[in-house]
A = this chain, B = another copy of it.
Amino acid sequence: MRLTFTGRGRARDGGDPSRRRILAGAAGVAVAGPAAADTLADVPPRGPGAPLSSTSERSEYVHLSRIPESTPGRRPVDPSEAINSKAPLDRLVGTITPADLHYERSHAGVPDIDPARHRLLVHGMVKRDLVFTMEDIRAMPATSRVAFLECTGNGWENWKQAPPDVTVQNTHGLVSTNEWTGVPLRFLIDLVGADPGSTWMLAEGGDGSAVARSIPLTDEIIAEGMLAYGQNGEPLRPAHGFPLRLFLPGFEGNLNIKWLRRLKFGDRPFMTRWETARYTQLQANGAARQFQLRQEVNSVITSPSGMMQIRPGFNRLTGLAWSGFGRITRVEVSTDGARTWRDAAIAGPALPKAQARFQADWAWDGSPTKIVSRATDEAGNLQPDRASFIARTGTNALFHYNAQQTWAIDAGGNVRNVLA
């Protein structure tokens, strides 16, 4: 692995960082700058630490939280008005999102459900109506899978305009990746004896607004869908559907019904208000498109990103890529405003329908430029540039925005959101 970067030493007086240039690689290393003695001098002495505890809390030096938002770009707001709470992608590493920081989206707030009293009714085109307790469901065979979940509204801030002073948490914070655990949908369908003629399934949530969506019973959804009761090894958190939610890898967030209380099998879509009014796409010609359900290939550079400041010399570019069509097979980055591209490295395995972490090294010469990434998935989909995306979709729609994200960098190293 070869890399050129400017490391940063620290003078023993704790003053302005001095600089040393490190040219590294298999061939060896050459260094100039503070010596070991200088920079170890201000390392605090060691002493007895805090007692062990029943849970390991975060460091006082780590500040992680989501941004509750009611309108795109406006933050923070009164949480009681908020409809979104966005994951801090600019401060996360790897691919897993901590459960308490997984993005949150709701239509009537977060219900507080006693799992002992919760029920799941399964009816419609089935051999027998059944009602399940959580004890029933936890007794069924389970499966676990690491996959992303994304709100179909993720990125809409940039569809029509680009507020410059926003972070990647604002522009792309409605996507997260967890390990989800639950009962395979296939098992439940066999258990209730769903009619083979049943081609759609209504899923209804137990929240105040009873969000309900029609789920097409494709081979893919039957094979991959699950009734999830766990995330990242623990029970779902209330904001994410406790005690039970539907999880459909690769499909838009609102289909993954939280606080799941009812499944009804039928031979046509149920045409709930959520799919006739709320989650339809107004096309350029004024016609509304229904049931655009799969999340498209997408990517974003999370560092450097909006509101960060960089210095000339080495900068590590890193970000996340994901696709509802399967694995990410390639991520390219451009540091000259999409004129030239080069491959980024995928750090760690790229799991199907999970976020993949990419990175590339970049020596910035200090002149204003733009950085951008584009991902390709295993189905061969290439993330579109904004111009072709708008040419295809127009600007009437609100959902499924997956155009390339461009960050502009000025001579001072200030990173800002632009439309490319």
Contacts and interface: CB of A to CB of B under 8 A. Distances in A.
B101 A234 contact: yes
A93 B233 contact: yes
A253 to B, nearest CB: 14
Interface stretch (A37-45, A214-222, A286-294): A37-45
A234 B58 contact: yes
Interface string A85-107: 10000011111111111101010
Given A3-B187, A54-B65, A57-B237, A94 B181 contact: yes
Contacts of A181: 93-94, 357
Interface in A27-64: 28-31, 34-36, 39-40, 42-44, 46-62, 64
B52 A141 contact: no
B84 A52 contact: yes
A208 to B, nearest CB: 5
Interface in A102-133: 102, 104, 106, 108-119, 121, 123, 127-133
A52 B106 contact: yes
B233 A24 contact: no
Interface stretch (A190-198, A274-282, A408-416): A190-198
B3 A36 contact: no
A419 interface: no
Given A1-B186, A59-B235, A93-B234, A52 B83 contact: yes
A43 B234 contact: no
A374 interface: no
B100 A55 contact: yes
A94 B144 contact: yes
A240 interface: yes
A66 interface: yes
Contact of A112 (B25, B54, B59, B345): B59
Contacts of A156: none
A39 B43 CA distance: 63
A138 B238 CA distance: 34
A105 to B, nearest CB: 8
Given A234-B101, A314-B139, A208 B96 contact: no
- The oligomer's copy count stands at 2
B5 A49 contact: no
Given A24-B191, A133-B9, A92 B233 contact: yes
A119 B41 CA distance: 10
B143 A28 contact: no
B316 A140 contact: yes
A62 B133 contact: no
Contacts of A35: 129, 131
Interface string A1-24: 101010111100000000000101
Given A85-B54, A191-B29, A347-B144, A136 B8 contact: yes
Interface string A242-261: 11000000000000000001
Interface string A316-341: 10100000000000000000000000
11 contacts: A10-B133, A25-B190, A46-B208, A48-B208, A49-B108, A50-B110, A50-B112, A56-B100, A59-B113, A140-B316, A144-B347
Closest 5 CB pairs of A and B: A49-B109, A93-B230, A144-B348, A54-B65, A56-B239
Interface of A: 1, 3, 5, 7-10, 22, 24-26, 28-31, 34-36, 39-40, 42-44, 46-62, 64-68, 78-85, 91-102, 104, 106, 108-119, 121, 123, 127-133, 135-136, 138-146, 177, 179-181, 184, 186-187, 190-193, 206-208, 210, 229-230, 232-235, 237-240, 242-243, 261, 314-316, 318, 345, 347-348, 357, 359, 361
